[in-house]
Amino acid sequence: MGITRNDPDGPQGAPEPLSAGPWGPKAFATARFAAEQQLAVATVREAGALVRSHFQDDYGIQPKGERGDVVTDLDLLAERLVVQRIRERFPHDRILAEESGILDGDGGAPVPGPRRMWLVDPLDGSNNVVIGLPAYVVGIALCVDDQPVVGAIHDPVTDRTWSALTGCGAYGPHGRMTGPTGPLAASGPLLAWTQGHAVARDDPAARSLKSVLEVRSRRLLQLWAPLLTWSMLARGAIDGFVGYRAEAIDFPAGALLAAEAGMEIRSLDGGPFRGSVAGPDTDRSFVAGRPEDIPYLLDLVSRSEAVDRVRQGA
């Protein structure tokens, strides 16, 4: 999944500021995948409203896996809604949903042409929801031939929506997003961290990397809602984002948002990021930030043994 930085001028000049509502600039309306982008934005907002309406209700909670993850009735409600909306508009597309897994399009047989797959994270931050922490979002991405082309993220708590369309930029409630501004603070960068569910609590590389980042950053946020974190990077609320063996389902929407906001994404060893949804999680370790800050961030992570693990393919 090669995600490249968006040209700030875009393919047809700078898009106009956001009009009222969450749909994005007028340039989105005439771009390729405009219909898919509009569907993604409308659907994350609808699913987010559904989740928020039940946030304080009693709902079922089940363990998922052996490392403390959970699935709630809210995840399942939101996922059913999102899948239904995608099926109504694009019945032949494949869907990879967090709880249901791979869902083939109508007929089951591949459709000739580019391979299209929607990725659905109906409730990013389920563990936060369970403890009553209002830090969660709904995210949808569309990948074509493994490349993200549409991404939409909605925060039901603040009713904010962020979206990106390949080649057209990333937008939020206040217009086009361009990431952090100004130099890094003398006290250190404000960074965020994520790791995949398969990473053990005593994983030496993860512990080494987190320790380095905590010592050399002003703050190291661990929100357990990666899509929310990607939106923070895109709008400039944090300076950088570091991931170790990140989950696949929420990566495309967030990474597209950041890339279209002008951020750069690299592998931990400084090379191009080549992780994909279908590939192993060992390929989804990354550093993301402004191009001018990447050398500094890579220097930080180089002080941990995680880089050696990446080079060894472990």
Q: How many CB atoms lie within 10 A of CB 56?
A: 8
The CATH architecture assigned to 26-176 reads: 2-Layer Sandwich (3.30)
User: Residue 124 pairs with which residues in a beta bridge?
Assistant: 137
Tell me how far apart the alpha carbons of residues 53 and 46 are, in angstroms, rounded to a whole number.
11
Q: Are 235 and 177 in contact (CB under 8 A)?
A: yes
| pLDDT score of 12 more than 90 | no
**242, 213 Cβ separation under 8 angstroms:** yes
Identify whether the C-beta of residue 259 lies closer than 8 Å to the C-beta of residue 265. yes
Q: What's the predicted TM-score (pTM) here?
A: 0.89
The per-residue pLDDT for range 126-170, each reduced to its tens digit, is 999 999 999 999 999 999 999 999 999 999 999 999 999 999 999
Q: Judge whether 174 and 54 are in contact, CB under 8 Å.
A: no
Q: Other CB atoms closer than 10 Å to residue 109's CB: what's the count?
A: 9
Instruction: List the alpha helices (DSSP H) in 200-250.
Output: 204-216, 226-234
Confidence at residue 24, expressed as pLDDT on a 0 to 100 scale: 63
Query: What integer pLDDT is reported at residue 63 of this predicted model?
Result: 87
Query: How is domain 190-311 classified at the CATH fold level?
Result: D-Maltodextrin-Binding Protein; domain 2 (3.40.190)
Whether 190-311 and 26-176 are alike in CATH topology: the answer is no
Q: What share of the chain is helix, strand, coil (3-state, %, to 5)?
A: 30, 25, 45
What DSSP string runs through 26-45?
HHHHHSTTHHHHHHHHHHHH
Asked if residues 260 and 252 have their Cβ atoms less than 8 Å apart, the reply is no
Strand 190-195 versus strand 219-221 pairing type: parallel
> What gap in Å lies between CA 285 and CA 173, rounded to an integer?
30
Residue 16, pLDDT score: 35
Q: Give the pLDDT confidence score for residue 69 in this predicted structure.
A: 85
Task: For residue range 190-216, list pLDDT tens digits in order.
Answer: 999 999 999 999 999 999 999 999 999
- Domain ranges across the chain: 26-176, 190-311
Question: Do residues 143 and 159 touch, judged by C-beta distance below 8 A?
Answer: no
